[in-house]
């Protein structure tokens, strides 16, 4: 789903700049770029702590300087009050933070002129239920994973969709990913790449102990539940790369669509397929010997 938004050209957009100050190289680079951003935007706040509250004043967008990890932390920081995000890539890969610093003087005037699109991305709510009671609730953007942990033997994970048992995976772990997360841990586990604006989840087993288990893509309108009837001592629930709880046999992990939507600013020429082509090396041709 694409939602067009434009800012009045009579005044500069009001922006908050976000950077992870715990990484000195990012902080120093962000300070170098700050005057360039302030030339086009009215920067009402410069936040360098992703655990801090964001300002309550009217803000048109957030400029996140860093890599995809920084954008992920920014999405968590905004919670249920998401605002459009322009990602400036100071990291390595940059599937979400796809604007390079050297392109700012081209991209920022186009944003001021309204020459861009805001794409809404699926977010999820993850709840852990034990004996019918919620013990944990988490808002996420990338994925939920159940990982075996020590002693690192085969783990059995049950998958339910809309309360119906789908299968029991024998594996090293199981990932339930959004389209945004499909280029992260799920991709490393052999999962497919989903276009970021699709409303779907992908379920990817990690090293499944059978050749018949393959990743599954299903609608985001369904409710997904994971259970581990015989967990190991180190069996852990991981949400967006953060270990949040060791699981017991009584726990049930529930994953469903969140009303919150992560909003990413996309400027023509810096879109989804151009990012995949550059980041995954899709630009070459197969060379055949003469």
Of 20, 60, 68, 98, the active-site residue reads: 68
Coil, helix or strand at residue 227 = strand
Taking residue 237's Cβ as centre, other Cβ atoms within 10 Å add up to 22
Q: Is the dihedral of CA 174, 178, 179, 182 positive or negative?
A: negative
Residue from 74, 77, 87, 94 nearest 119 by CA = 87
Structure tokens at 251: 């726990």
Residue from 148, 150, 170, 143 nearest 159 by CA = 170
pLDDT tens for the chain, residues 1 to 290: 334 344 444 478 999 999 988 888 888 899 999 999 999 999 999 998 888 888 877 899 999 999 889 999 999 999 999 999 999 998 776 778 889 999 999 999 999 999 999 999 999 999 999 877 777 899 999 999 999 988 889 999 999 999 999 999 999 999 999 999 998 999 999 999 999 889 999 999 999 988 778 899 999 999 999 999 999 999 999 999 999 999 999 999 999 999 999 999 998 876 666 667 776 666 555 444 44
Distance CA(199)–CA(1), nearest Å, equals 9
Structure tokens at 12: 């500069």
CATH for the 123-259 domain, from 2.60.40.10, 2.60.200.30, 3.30.420.40, 3.10.105.10: 2.60.200.30
Distance CA(173)–CA(150), nearest Å, equals 12
Structure tokens at 172: 């090293």
Taking residue 113's Cβ as centre, other Cβ atoms within 10 Å add up to 11
- Is there a catalytic annotation at residue 172? no
CB 160 within 8 A of CB 195: no
**Can you name the CATH fold of 2-116+267-279?**
Rossmann fold (3.40.50)
Residue from 83, 59, 65 nearest 21 by CA = 65
Domain ranges in the chain are: 2-116+267-279, 123-259
Distance CA(198)–CA(202), nearest Å, equals 11
DSSP classification of residue 180: G
């Amino acid at each position: 789903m694409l939602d067009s938004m434009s800012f009045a050209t009579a005044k500069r957009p009001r922006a908050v700049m976000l950077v992870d100050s715990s990484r000195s190289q990012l902080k120093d680079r962000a300070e170098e770029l700050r005057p360039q951003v302030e030339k086009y935007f009215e920067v009402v706040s410069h936040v360098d702590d992703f655990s801090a509250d964001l300002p309550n004043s009217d803000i048109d967008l957030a400029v996140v300087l860093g890599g995809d990890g920084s954008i992920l932390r920014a999405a968590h920081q905004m919670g249920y009050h998401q605002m459009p995000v322009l990602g400036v890539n100071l990291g390595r890969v940059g599937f979400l933070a796809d604007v390079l610093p050297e392109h700012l003087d081209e991209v920022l005037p186009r944003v001021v002129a309204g020459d861009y699109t805001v794409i809404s991305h699926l977010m999820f709510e993850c709840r852990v239920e034990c004996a019918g009671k919620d013990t944990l609730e988490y808002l996420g953007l990338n994925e939920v994973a159940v990982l075996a942990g020590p002693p690192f033997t085969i783990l059995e994970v049950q998958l339910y969709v809309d309360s119906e048992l789908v299968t029991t995976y024998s594996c090293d772990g199981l990932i339930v990913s959004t389209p945004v997360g499909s280029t992260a841990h799920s991709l490393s586990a052999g999962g497919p790449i989903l276009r970021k604006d699709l409303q779907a989840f992908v379920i990817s087993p990690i090293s499944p102990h059978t050749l018949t288990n393959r990743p599954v893509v299903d609608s985001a309108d369904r409710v997904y539940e994971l259970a581990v009837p015989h967990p190991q001592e180190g069996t852990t629930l991981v949400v967006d790369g953060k270990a949040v709880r060791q699981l017991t046999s009584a726990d049930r992990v529930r994953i469903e669509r969140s009303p919150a939507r992560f909003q990413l600013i996309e400027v023509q020429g810096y879109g989804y397929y151009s990012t995949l082509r550059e980041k995954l090396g899709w630009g070459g041709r197969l060379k055949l010997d003469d």
